[in-house]
Structure 1
Amino acid sequence: MIELDGVTCRYGRGAGEGGDDGDADSDGDADDGATGTVAVDDASLSVPDGEFLVVAGANGSGKTTLVRTFNGLVDPDAGTVSVNGTPVDGDLVAARSAVGMVFQDPRDQLVAATVGADVAFGPENLGLSHDEIDRRVDEALAAVNMSGRERERIDSLSGGERERVAIAGALAMEPDHLVLDEPFTGLDEPARRSVVDRLRALHAEGTSVVVVTHDLRDVAALADRIVGLADGRIAVDAPPREAVSALPGLDVRVPEGGEFGKPTG
């Protein structure tokens, strides 16, 4: 369970420490002159184990900043964040083991020259045994259909393959929650379908999935719940069929016809 209570994040003069992700401080909100631009404003949210949550909003709405508080990549200026009952700021290692993060651009988190070395990077930093690291790498690559490709160079991969390696690297930490920030940006249709299929399978196996996006067409049918952000505030928090009417007003693209979210009742 991820729990946020009254989380506020600011940037600019007097702001607390936080990440600059291109989403947090490009929304054009007014700077109050003392506490900086508000990127996330008094957000309270719970993400239960096993849920498929979509965090939706326009560019600059604060959605990336919000999810980066889940494992301490952004430190809130106010409010609290806890994972599995433990405050994130009290145990960053536990939070980052429980909440795996896949950035919008995989190049921002791919750190090694080869596929296998990159996926092994996180488990190695946990001080695990070689056998345990090998097991995690094998299982993570199998989960994204990249078994046997450990020795391939990262710079030889397509955009979709790099996305899958980034997902595998997060999975190798064996997180309770997998958070993906705009995972379909720049992918062609086959790559998008591959990532969607992987997310569907991972969720079916019990992993909680959080997808950050401004375009719901790829994930609408998978969602249990949608949280919509506008100007850093949570404007929508509802099952997909209830959320859909408000989302276009938040500059979020929704599917035209077809299935929107899972059936209720």
Structure 2
Amino acid sequence: MIETRDLTHRYGPSEGRGEPETESSADPDAPASPVALRDVSLTVPDGEFLVLAGANGSGKSTLVRHFNGLLTPTTGEVLVDDDPVGDDLVAARTRVGMVFQEPRDCFVAATVARDVAFGPENLGLDRAEIDRRVERALAAVNMAGRGDERIDRLSGGEQERVAVAGALAMEPSHLVLDEPFTGLDESARASVLAHLRDLHREGTGIVLVTHDLRDVLDPADRLVILADGAVAVDGAPDAAVDALADLPVRRPERC
């Protein structure tokens, strides 16, 4: 379970990078730093498929980067399985896997299998366990037998699937994907979404961050929409979708 309690995040001196302001760097005479998140209290149960939506700048990416300690709250707290994230970052990042909007910027190896193995290797696992995890993760995203291929020769959709496999190899309880469909054509988008459905059916919790709600509400258990850094909508997709008319998100066709 992921839980945020009264989470507020103010940008620090490095504007736009999501770094929290600290007391030592704050100038009491300076204007208040921009607020990215405002008193966000949210619980994500194990096994839930949560769609987190909102316009660009609404705070979606900032919020999920708190889930495994990539960002630190200005005020409030974040817990994973009842443990404060800051108490054990390795544990938090093992339980909450993250796939970023531009996965190619996060690859650390030239070939598929070596990149997917990077996380388990850093956990200090033995070679047999690493190989087992890599094989299982690649099979889960329909990339079995392609471990020796160069990542830079894959299509955008295939690179996205390798990024998902890298997160799955850590065997997280939650998989967070930040705008995973950016730059993908309709075929690749459908392929990635189909694999997320499969992972959800197998018990992995999914947090899908998007501003484009086409096709993603059918598998979702819940829809949360952020506006100006606060929760504007939180509910079952069929009920919450009625509130979308006044919000700047790309709505599904049935709306």
**Greater RCO (CA < 8 Å, at least 6 residues apart):** 2
- Give the aligned partner of residue 254 of structure 1: 251
Looking at structure 1, the residues matched to 32 and 123 of structure 2 have their Cα atoms a distance apart, in angstroms, of: 36
Corresponding position: 1:54 with 2:33: no
Match of 1:140, as an amino acid?
A
Cα displacement (A) at 1:192: 0.9
Cα displacement (A) at 1:245: 1.7
- Residues 208-254 of structure 1 show CA distances to partners (whole Å, capped at 9, x for unaligned) of 00000001112111111111001101111111112112223221112
Looking at structure 2, the residues matched to 142 and 14 of structure 1 have their Cα atoms a distance apart, in angstroms, of: 40
Equivalent residues of 1:229, 1:250 under 8 A apart: no
Cα 1:19–1:252 shift into 2, 3 Å: same
- Give the aligned partner of residue 161 of structure 2: 164
- Residues 26-48 of structure 1 show CA distances to partners (whole Å, capped at 9, x for unaligned) of xxxxxx94441101111000000
Matches within 5 A, 1:112-131: 112-131=109-128
Corresponding position: 1:102 with 2:105: no
Looking at structure 1, the residues matched to 109 and 19 of structure 2 have their Cα atoms a distance apart, in angstroms, of: 22
Identity rate of aligned residues, in percent?
67
Looking at structure 1, the residues matched to 19 and 164 of structure 2 have their Cα atoms a distance apart, in angstroms, of: 21
Structure 1 stretches of at least 4 aligned residues deviating more than 3 Å after TM superposition: 12-15, 17-20, 32-35
Match of 1:175, as an amino acid?
P
Looking at structure 2, the residues matched to 50 and 12 of structure 1 have their Cα atoms a distance apart, in angstroms, of: 34
Cα displacement (A) at 1:131: 0.3
Match of 2:113, as an amino acid?
G
Paired residue total: 246
Structure 2 counterpart SS, 1:183 = coil
2:76 aligned to which of 54, 79, 93: 79
Instruction: Note the residue ranges of structure 1 that are not aligned, 5 or more in a row.
Output: 21-31, 261-265
User: What TM-score do the two structures reach when normalised by structure 1?
Assistant: 0.89
Structure 1 counterpart SS, 2:214 = helix
1:93 aligned to which of 86, 90, 93: 90
1:180 aligned to which of 174, 177, 192: 177
